[in-house]
Structure 1
Amino acid sequence: MRSRTYVVLVLTAIVGLSGCANDTERTDPGKDRTIATPTSDGTPSPDDVAMPPWPAPTDVAARVSAAGLDLGPMGMAEHYHPKLRIIIDGSEVPIPPNVGVDPTTGAMSALHTHEGDGTIHIEADSVGEVFTLRQFFTQWGVALTPDQIGGVRAKPGQQVELTSNGTKVTGDPAALRLEPDQKIVLTLQ
């Protein structure tokens, strides 16, 4: 009887563990957050469960590629700095340094951060390229939709509020085109 119970327990554990192999998310060891795993096409999916603050990602090359950009030396054909603020439940969420910057090589995407003050650096190698908030959040690895920022979801009947230079912008906040000297505020109460 004892060996039969042992076999049942072992089989239950094996079946339970094998089910974990197909999960689309996994827990980051030592941290209370979930990391999104790659989608079926291999691109990393944005994290839509982690709560702020959100660190700069470690899989920089994959996230830059998912944003439709590439890593390389800093471009100088066009250079400007929009400023991003995120306010959730009345508290400002920090924008980390080195989003879009490979810490190993120093290579960076044309859209990146250096400081932790919300300044987004656009340093493109050709004039007239269009950059969006979607590309920035994709590189950061944080979900941005009309109803959520990362794992913070809007209450029923509410949406993420977006202003650009003090003017309310409707629609998908991720579609916002980044412009020189732009002041962007995302708010979710």
Structure 2
Amino acid sequence: MRLRSVAVAVAAVLLLAGCAAPGAATTRAVPPWERPTDLTARAEAAGLRNVWGERLAEHVHTHLTILDGDEPVTVPANVGHSAKARFAAEIHTHDTSGIVHVESPDERTFTLGQFFDEWGVSLGPEHVGGLRGELTVWVDGHRRIGNPRSIALTDRRQVVLVVTTIGEVPRLPTPFDWPPQYR
């Protein structure tokens, strides 16, 4: 029993230090956070798989905005996607617009936490990656309390994550203007 307690303590220290077990989301200090290069391993870490060329039962888009104070953080292109490698995880990006695509052969709930696990950036109730302070979350313009990892990725949903210093007032940015092909 004592050995188990030591193992839990060591795991907590490693997590706080920014280290993680293989396959787990990593804590990267500050943005920019690049797209992962090992698409298969990152997808598997998020409970996803390559669905390239499969018939889709679900195709939805969620917009993700991340702010470090008032500074926008870029969501990189091709997280979970590579046309050259013929790879498309069920959750992926194509460009740096912040649009997160969910394309799946079966209908089920995919979450923001899965996207961050695939990206390799940690996400929790009080942080985004290595950004620490106060995390304020808005979903479709409404303040959300709780762990942002559980936010469902649904069609035309808008998720805003703002990390501010303690006491700083977070500002909800103007809503995302969806391009015509997503309306």
TM-score, L = length of structure 1:
0.73
What is the aligned partner in structure 1 of residue 103 from structure 2? 123
Asked if 1:99 is matched to 2:74, the reply is no
Percent of pairs with identical residues = 34
Match of 2:35? 56
Provide the rounded CA distance (Å) in 2 between the counterparts of 1:81 and 1:104: 22
Moved beyond 3 Å, runs of 4+? 34-37
Point out the structure with max Rg over C-alpha. Answer: 1
Structure 2 counterpart of 1:47, which letter?
Answer: T
Instruction: Tell me, yes or no, if the aligned pair for 2:51 and 2:105 is still in contact at 8 Å.
Output: no
CA contact (8 A) 2:138 2:160 kept: yes
Over 3 Å counting, the alpha-carbon distance change for 1:114 and 1:49 in structure 2 is closer
Matched to 2:149, the amino acid is: A
Match of 1:46 among 2, 7, 25: 25
User: 8 Å contact 2:28–2:121 — kept in the other structure?
Assistant: no
Gaps of 5+ in 1: 1-23, 26-33
TM norm structure 2: 0.75
Cα separation, partners in 2 of 1:174 and 1:131, compared to 1, 3 Å:
same
Task: Output the amino acid matched with 2:130.
Answer: G
3-state SS of the aligned residue for 2:113? helix
User: Residue in 2 aligned with 1:161?
Assistant: 136
Deviation per residue, 1:84-120 (Å, 9 max, x gap): 0001121000000111124651211111000111000
Quote the offset at 1:188 in angstroms: 0.4
Which structure has the highest strand share of the two?
2
Tell me the C-alpha RMSD between the 2 structures: 2.1
Q: Secondary structure at the match of 2:50?
A: coil
Unaligned runs of 5+ in 2: 1-13, 165-183
